[in-house]
Amino acid sequence: MNDSSAAHSAEQPPAPDSETFTSSAQSIVLGGRTVDYRAGAGTVIVRDDEHRPLASVFYISYVAERREGEPRRPVTFFFNGGPGSASLWLNIGGFGPKRAPTRTPEATPPAPYVVGDNPHSLLAQSDLVFIDAPGTGYSRLIGDATPDELWGVDQDVDAFARAITRYLTITNNWNAPRFLFGESYGTTRAAALVHKLQNQGLDFNGVVLLSTMLNWGENHLGADQGFINMLPSFAASAWYHGRARTDATSLEAFLDEVRDFAQGPFAEALQRGDRLTSDKEQLVAAQLSAYIGLDEEMLLKNRFRIGMEQYRYALLADEGRVIGRFDTRFTADHQYVVGNGSHDPATDDAATAGVNSAHLSTFREHLVSDIGFTSELHYRHLYNMPISRAWNWYHKAPGIDAPSPVPDVSIDLSAALRRNTNLKVYVMGGYYDLATPFFGAEFDISHLYLAPALRENVRFSFYESGHMTFVDEGEIVRMKRDLDAFYADATATR
115-158 confidence digits (pLDDT tens): 999 999 999 999 999 999 999 999 999 999 999 999 999 999 99
Per the CB < 8 A criterion, the answer to whether 169 and 65 are in contact is no
> pLDDT per residue over 244-294, tens digit each?
999 999 999 999 999 999 999 999 999 999 999 999 999 999 999 999 999
Look at residue 212 in the predicted model and tell me its pLDDT.
97
Per the CB < 8 A criterion, the answer to whether 367 and 374 are in contact is yes
Contacts of residue 250, defined as CB under 8 A and 6 or more positions apart, other chains included, come to: none
> pLDDT per residue over 421-441, tens digit each?
999 999 999 999 999 999 999
3-state DSSP assignment of residue 426: strand
- 259/392 same-domain check: no
**Does residue 345 lie within any of the structural domains?**
no
**Does residue 330 lie within any of the structural domains?**
no
Which neighbouring-strand residues pair with 406? none
Q: Band of the pLDDT at 62, cuts 50, 70, 90?
A: very high
- 376/393 same-domain check: yes
With a cut of 60, say whether residue 7 has pLDDT above it.
no
Domain coverage including residue 287: 224-325
**Does residue 383 lie within any of the structural domains?**
yes
- Kindly report the average pLDDT of the chain as a whole number: 93
The residue among 309, 325, 341 that closes a domain is 325
- 107/249 same-domain check: no
With a cut of 90, say whether residue 347 has pLDDT above it.
no
- 122/195 same-domain check: yes
- 425/452 same-domain check: yes
Per the CB < 8 A criterion, the answer to whether 219 and 226 are in contact is yes
**Does residue 275 lie within any of the structural domains?**
yes
CATH number at residue 142: 3.40.50.1820
**How many angstroms separate the Cα of 134 from the Cα of each of 147, 163, 378, 431, 490?**
9, 10, 14, 31, 29
User: How big is the chain, counted in residues?
Assistant: 494
Closest CA to 467 of 59, 93, 84, 61: 93
Residue 308 to residue 76: CA distance in whole angstroms: 33
Q: Please list, residue by residue across 169-193, b when 16 or more beta carbons sit within 10 angstroms of its beta carbon and e when fewer do.
A: eebebeebbbbbbbbbbbbbbbbbb
Phi-psi region of 84 (alpha: psi -120 to 50; beta: other; left: phi over 0): left
Number of domains in the chain: 2
DSSP secondary structure of 6-38 = HHHHHH-----SS--EEEEEEEEEETTEEEEEE
- 288/412 same-domain check: no
**Does residue 338 lie within any of the structural domains?**
no
**How many angstroms separate the Cα of 443 from the Cα of each of 365, 392, 405?**
41, 25, 21
Percent of the chain with pLDDT over 70: 94
**Does residue 229 lie within any of the structural domains?**
yes
**Does residue 343 lie within any of the structural domains?**
no
- 464/402 same-domain check: yes
**What is the average pLDDT across 167-181?**
97
Closest CA to 76 of 483, 382, 359, 485: 483
> pLDDT per residue over 21-54, tens digit each?
999 999 999 999 999 999 999 999 999 999 999 9
The residue among 285, 305, 325 that closes a domain is 325
- 197/236 same-domain check: no
- 72/206 same-domain check: yes
- 387/470 same-domain check: yes
- 133/250 same-domain check: no
Look at residue 349 in the predicted model and tell me its pLDDT.
83
Residue 436 buriedness (CB in 10 A; 0-12 / 13-18 / 19+): buried
> pLDDT per residue over 398-412, tens digit each?
999 999 999 999 999
Give the count of beta carbons closer than 10 Å to the beta carbon of residue 452. Answer: 6
- 247/160 same-domain check: no
Percent of the chain with pLDDT over 90: 87
The residue among 325, 342, 369 that closes a domain is 325
Closest CA to 31 of 106, 118, 119: 119
Whole-prediction pTM value?
Answer: 0.93
> pLDDT per residue over 184-240, tens digit each?
999 999 999 999 999 999 999 999 999 999 999 988 878 899 999 999 999 999 999
**Does residue 182 lie within any of the structural domains?**
yes
